[in-house]
């Protein structure tokens, strides 16, 4: 995980400290379980002829050696599908290439019946092809986020990637009747969510023969998703619907407008020549100028940044001081005056979209304000030790935080910039009062973030022990995905906040330009996944 964390923290830059969303993440917390029939697709008499998308230049990026960027994951999500998918209108799991499924062994094993699904060339999709696709993804090895993601959840996946087991010992089995059986490393309430990640898409063998992700090569292979790739009369890349039924949903054609610069993309959209300006093609320095527009959307993403407090060191063993540190920050000023980019101020650890329904307290710190403000820092204290990596952006952020805490709370703090190795060692050994922390969703469930602070967790130096927090998390893990489970997860997060263990700072954001008054059911962005535009309608 260290490589991931370096990736996440090293992208803070001075002036415009925008954060690039990494994409070995995962899908949202949705309903799990049970045998389910394939519902009839929605009938749309107002089918869209063409939908025009501005995308950033894809270049020649090595295939699956790093997480796909926004452009790549958008295209992959149209050309390929997995066993299940996400309806962006209802936020529910729906069958995709699987016709139905059943849950066995308390959720550790899922059996998927494929039914009569077909590739873009008309050939039937077989369970063995799914198995082969997953094995090929695992064979990409330790350098591939897709391989690491899949191996983390499939039984014996990690041992196979490391070369100690054969593929016959994987929890991926083909059963009679065109049935695929998946056995997970344990029971996951959000198992179906995991399967919507691009690592679990069905790819043909020729896909893995590609050296680079490029449009020209993709045009020559068969696809398992709702669209296949072609070119229009002007030679531009276009995605063509495989469903020629005039009452089918989704655009018949999707025109991909590749731009060299973000400024070119914004100009094209403002001239009315496109329907959607994606995040990857939007200039961050223009965000404040666009904030007034009805078609501008800037919702919180899936990366959470915070500082960790070490209650095992005096004087942070005093909860009043921890609360003062937590409540004496002006997060809006931090972003507007220091970061000046696309961050969203946060008062929580978990990005709100991971709770799916977004309900819950909008200002969870409000109840701590009074008790924190009643605490008075002792002027005789030695400065608190605050550690962060040596990157310039982290220094600027740390200095702004120290200034606010000294001015607003009267708390002396001494900043220490450490190289990455020393930073990790100091944080793991608990040699700090305050330390930079951050996490990017790997699978779209609050547990992804909350599990960081279970008793004995080594990622943050094991500074937190709370039987109440542990109890709630374990109880939530025993429930199927749903509102009761999310309520428990929110309760656990409030325990974390009330104990003042972390100081939330901000989430990354997903800015885009699209007229949501005109376009319904999409596009929706999740970690490792873009919703299929087959749902898009007027």
Would you state the pLDDT for residue 463? 78
* Contact criterion met (CB below 8 Å) for 279 and 262: no
Q: Cβ neighbours of residue 393 under 8 Å, at least 6 residues apart?
A: 11, 12, 13, 14, 17
Cα 379 to chain centroid distance, Å, stands at: 43
Q: Can you name the residues that pair with 385 across neighbouring β-strands? A: 414
CA distance 426 to 248: 57
140-150 pLDDT per residue, tens: 998 899 999 99
Residue with tokens 């691009």: 198
- Confidence band, pLDDT 50/70/90 cuts, at residue 444: confident
What separation in angstroms does the CA of 213 have from each of 58, 59, 160, 217, 455? 8, 8, 26, 8, 42
Specify the pLDDT at position 528: 84
pTM, rounded to two decimals: 0.84
Which regions of 176-310 does DSSP assign to beta strands (E)? Answer: 179-183, 212-213, 227-231, 237-241, 253-259, 276-277, 296-309
| Among the listed residues 488, 461, 491, 466, the one whose alpha carbon sits nearest the alpha carbon of residue 477 | 488
pLDDT of 6: 31
Interval 457-463 mean pLDDT: 70
3-state secondary structure of 7: helix
How confident is residue 51, by pLDDT bands cut at 50, 70 and 90? Answer: very high
State the pLDDT at residue 7: 34
How would you classify residue 524: left for phi > 0, otherwise alpha for psi between -120 and 50, otherwise beta?
beta
Sign (positive or negative) of CA dihedral 64, 69, 72, 76: positive
Rounded Cα–Cα distance for residues 296 and 273 (Å)? 16
Residue 246 banded pLDDT, cuts 50, 70, 90: low
Q: Higher model confidence: residue 11 or residue 293?
A: 293
pLDDT given at position 358: 54
Q: Is the dihedral of CA 401, 402, 403, 405 positive or negative?
A: positive
What 3 state SS string does 458-525 have? Answer: CCCCCCCCCHHHHHHHHHHHCCCCCHHHHHHHHHHHHHHHHCCCEEEEEEEEEEEEECCCCCECCCCE
Q: Residue 363: its pLDDT value, please?
A: 63
Query: What beta strand segments (E) does 80-195 contain?
Result: 84-87, 92-95, 100-104, 109-113, 172-175, 179-183
| pLDDT given at position 108 | 95
Range in 191-195, 339-343, 496-500, 524-528 the model is least confident about: 339-343
- How many Cβ atoms from other residues are within 10 Å of residue 152's Cβ? 16
Interatomic CA distance for residues 108 and 32, integer angstroms: 12
Residue 304 vs residue 32, higher pLDDT: 304
Mean pLDDT of 197-225: 90
CA distance linking residue 220 with residue 474, whole number of Å: 48
Distance CA 148, CA 141 (A): 7
Q: What is the pLDDT of residues 404-434, one digit of tens each?
A: 998 888 889 999 999 999 999 999 888 999 9
Mean pLDDT confidence for 282-303: 86
Taking residues 347-353, report their average pLDDT: 88
């Amino acid at each position: 995980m260290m490589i991931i964390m370096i990736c996440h923290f090293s992208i803070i830059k001075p002036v415009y400290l925008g954060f690039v969303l990494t994409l070995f993440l995962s899908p949202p917390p949705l309903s799990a379980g049970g045998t389910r029939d394939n519902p009839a697709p929605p009938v749309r008499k107002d089918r869209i002829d063409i939908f025009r998308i501005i995308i950033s230049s894809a270049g020649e990026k090595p295939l699956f050696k790093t997480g796909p960027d926004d452009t790549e994951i958008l295209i992959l999500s149209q050309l390929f599908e997995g066993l299940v998918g996400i309806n962006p209108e209802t936020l529910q799991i729906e069958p995709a290439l699987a016709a139905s499924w059943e849950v066995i062994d308390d959720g550790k094993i899922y059996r998927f019946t494929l039914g009569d699904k077909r590739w873009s060339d008309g050939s039937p999709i077989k369970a063995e092809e799914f198995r082969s696709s997953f094995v090929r993804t695992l064979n990409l090895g330790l350098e591939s986020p897709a391989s690491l993601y899949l191996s983390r959840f499939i039984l014996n996946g990690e041992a196979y990637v490391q070369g100690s087991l054969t593929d016959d010992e994987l929890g991926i089995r083909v059963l009679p009747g065109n049935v695929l059986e998946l056995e997970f490393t344990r029971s996951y309430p959000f198992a179906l969510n995991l399967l919507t990640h691009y690592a679990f898409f069905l790819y043909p063998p020729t896909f893995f023969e590609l050296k680079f992700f490029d449009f020209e090569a993709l045009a020559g292979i068969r696809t398992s998703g709702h669209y296949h790739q072609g070119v229009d009369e002007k030679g531009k890349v276009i995605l063509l619907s495989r469903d020629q039924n005039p009452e089918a949903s989704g655009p018949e054609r999707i025109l991909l407008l590749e731009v060299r610069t973000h400024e070119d993309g914004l100009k094209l959209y403002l001239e009315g020549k496109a329907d959607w300006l994606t995040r990857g093609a939007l200039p961050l320095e223009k965000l404040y100028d666009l904030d007034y527009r009805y078609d501008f959307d800037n919702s919180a993403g899936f990366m959470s940044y915070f500082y960790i407090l070490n209650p095992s060191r005096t004087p942070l063993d005093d909860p009043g001081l921890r609360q003062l540190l937590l409540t004496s920050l002006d997060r809006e000023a931090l972003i507007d005056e220091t970061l000046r980019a696309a961050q969203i101020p946060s008062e929580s650890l978990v990005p709100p979209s991971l709770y799916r329904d977004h309900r819950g307290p909008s200002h969870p710190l409000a109840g701590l304000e009074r008790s924190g403000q009643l605490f008075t820092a002792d002027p005789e204290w030695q400065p608190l030790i605050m550690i962060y990596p040596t990157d310039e952006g982290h220094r600027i952020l740390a200095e702004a935080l120290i200034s606010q805490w000294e001015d607003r709370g009267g708390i002396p703090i001494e900043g220490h910039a450490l190289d990455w190795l020393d930073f990790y060692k100091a944080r793991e050994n608990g040699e700090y009062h305050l330390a930079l922390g951050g996490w990017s969703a790997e699978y779209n469930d609050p547990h992804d973030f909350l599990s960081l602070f279970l008793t004995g967790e080594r990622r943050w130096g094991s500074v937190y022990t709370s039987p109440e927090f542990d109890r709630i998390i374990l109880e939530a893990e025993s429930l199927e995905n749903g509102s009761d489970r999310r309520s428990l997860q929110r309760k656990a997060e409030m325990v974390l906040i009330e104990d003042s263990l972390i100081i939330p700072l901000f989430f990354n954001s997903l800015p885009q330009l699209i007229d949501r008054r005109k376009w319904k059911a999409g596009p929706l962005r999740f970690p490792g996944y873009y919703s299929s535009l087959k749902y898009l309608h007027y």
